[in-house]
Chain A
Amino acid sequence: GAGVSQSPSNKVTEKGKDVELRCDPISGHTALYWYRQRLGQGLEFLIYFQGNSAPDKSGLPSDRFSAERTGESVSTLTIQRTQQEDSAVYLCASSLGGRGETQYFGPGTRLLVL
């Protein structure tokens, strides 16, 4: 079946512009995660959605970052007024349910802020 997909695969933007990243989880997966991976580093948790519960936004680095998810489908991560330090790969993952379930990752969106 189809895996997690993300778009765009690459995005180049100018400092100060807003960007929107999209994630399509695996159908039926109630949980969805966003991570940031800076060059040569591990993954940094950003936000977690589980079903219709309030999202866990504790990992968002600033109020320029926000994410939405409609039900158990597509999610968008928005970065406003982008800064050069936002340059990274943004990874999305989904899982069947809660804690301990295997997360399936998308290919990521590589963001470069000039």
Chain B
Amino acid sequence: AQTVTQSQPEMSVQEAETVTLSCTYDTSENNYYLFWYKQPPSRQMILVIRQEAYKQQNATENRFSVNFQKAAKSFSLKISDSQLGDTAMYFCAFISTGNQFYFGTGTSLTVIP
């Protein structure tokens, strides 16, 4: 079975600091995709970053980067220079060959001014 685990229900970070959100997953597949989505209080889910499992290079998107460890099945998100607008729920997601998304339970991140 495919599962996604986010072990940190809540986190906080000072503005301008760096924070890392953890995510592990379980799959027997070799080729897959991983995503981090952000859901602010407005409820709109927004893609933060996407990683293709066959690529060894970690994806980066401005202040957001991932540490993808395929053997360990780990996919953490690092947010650098945290901003107040980063306050949101962050969901890690895995997509299977059947095109089904499996989401973690989320990490609530609060950026403190």
Contacts and interface: CB of A to CB of B under 8 A. Distances in A.
Q: Do A and B share a complex?
A: yes
Interface range on chain A: under 10, 10 to 19, 20 to 34, or 35 or more?
A: 20 to 34
Nearest to A43: B103
Nearest to B97: A99
Interface residues of B: mostly helix, strand, loop or mixed? strand
Contacts of A42: 4, 91, 103-106
A20 to B, nearest CB: 20
Interface stretch (A21-29, A61-69, A73-81, A100-108): A100-108
B100 A58 contact: yes
A45 B44 contact: no
Interface stretch (B12-20, B45-53, B67-75, B76-84): B45-53
Interface range on chain B: under 10, 10 to 19, 20 to 34, or 35 or more?
A: 20 to 34
A45 B106 contact: no
Interface in B76-109: 91, 93, 95, 97-106
Contacts of A50: 99
A107 B39 CA distance: 10
Interface of B: 4, 33, 35, 37, 42-47, 50, 52, 91, 93, 95, 97-106
